[in-house]
Amino acid sequence: MVTTRFAPSPTGRLHVGNLRTAIHNWMWARKAGGRFLLRIDDTDAERSSEENVEAIREDLAWIGLVPDAEERQSARFAIYESHFETLRAAGRIYPAYETPQELDLKRKILLGRGLPPVYDRAALNLSEAERAALEAEGRRPHWRFRLDHDAPMEWDDMVRGPQRFDPEKISDPVIRREDGSWLYLLPSVIDDIDLGITDVVRGEDHVTNTAVQVQMFAALGAQPPRFAHEALLTGAEGKLSKRLGSLGIDHFREGGIEPVALVALLARLGTSDPVEAVTRPQPLIETMDFARFGRAPARFDEGELAGLNARIVHQLDYDAVADRLPDTMEREGWAAIRPNLSTVGEAANWWAIVEGPFDAPVPGDDVEYLAQAAALADEIDWRDDPWRALTGALKERTGRKGKALFLPLRRALTGLGHGPDMAALLPLIGRERAIKRLRGQ
């Protein structure tokens, strides 16, 4: 069974890049009839918070991504410890005592010589006595995973194609800090094995991590999952934007963006498929295919999202939005106002115009014309198409046509020179209110 996972750290709120990763993991699992897991990566106790954990859950629920199960890394420390000791006994993990300053100096020396800044494995040459002396000085070791230089790091990436890395050009990664806390690499591999993760979908900034983790899977006697590394998002200005990292899901929710609009845009960004104004995610799930993903950075534009949101709102059924509309707005009102909305929240503003009262503009030279319109509005049949009946009678009596015929009526009846189709709006305003407005009352 295809099993994917979304693994955010609860050190802050979800942002656009996080959400795109979550959406693709969720879609890939749903397409295959598999499972989508939420893994809370809360090994950093100082920076993680329960408030952020709850916010992540709420954001995923709002967008419609319901995980089949949830795991927390903070509840799995005993499992990590057990695998750590196994790897240590096998010689795949070793202690290192260099300080950050010493490591930085080594890197600078190598770079100055035009060499890659790869760790020299000096810690492997320490004797037991030397280790004991360092610890007597108060030094505590950090722990590195020993890469196998004879085992190439390779996999067939679902987005990037065949990948191959030379382990001699990569430093043995630090997997555990001096205080015993865990870094990302090893716990993630252990979790993927234990939780049966078959497919890992994440950003291309993790490619080198994957190269290292391929060896970790092998060291633990497991086959690695399939990997898909997506190109990162860029801002509308065409380069990586810090703003993308600050655009939380609450920003879009408060701005009136429909959850399905975010799903529709982020599902297709970076693919060769067009962004579609869908009202449900199923068509996106059915066409999900990593072969359609390109390697060029994917451009996220809030303007494009707003336009997509408007197109989706124009398709939403009354039943889908009724709980967010004014109490007195029924199906006919939604049908009349919907084509002019960018967000569902704007419906209340238009409904206030229907129900009134509002400050009508000064009619100017149209006083007599509007008085004629009021008289005719009192005479026409309101049961069929009152707007057509009213404008037809006015055209015949006054000879007006085009804007001269319609615009003064719209302004008197709605207070605005633009808006929903008056043929749909006038019956909602109703006979009595319309006549009063045309009379300037």
Residue list, annotated binding site for ATP = 242
SS3 3: strand
* Cβ atoms of 258 and 312 closer than 8 Å: yes
Report CA-CA distances (Å) from 122 to 29, 70, 110, 288, 435. 44, 41, 14, 47, 91
| Cβ atoms 9, 42 nearer than 8 A | yes
CA distances from 190 to 40, 77, 182, 257, 348 (A): 14, 11, 12, 38, 52
Tokens of 271: 């693919």
Cβ contact 14:59 at 8 Å:
yes
Alpha carbon 149 to chain centroid, angstroms: 39
As a whole number of Å, the CA-based R_g of the chain is 32
Hunting for tokens 């060291």 — which residue is that?
Answer: 219
Annotated binding site: 242
Q: Which of 183, 214, 176, 190 is nearest to 76 (CA)?
A: 190
Cα 394 from chain centre: 52
Distances (CA, A) of 322 to 270, 327, 341, 344, 346: 34, 8, 15, 10, 13
Residue 345's φ and ψ, nearest 5 degrees, are -60, -25
Ramachandran class of 178: left when φ > 0, alpha when ψ lies in -120 to 50, beta otherwise: alpha
Give the residue from 401, 407, 397, 402 showing the smallest Cα distance to 376. Answer: 397
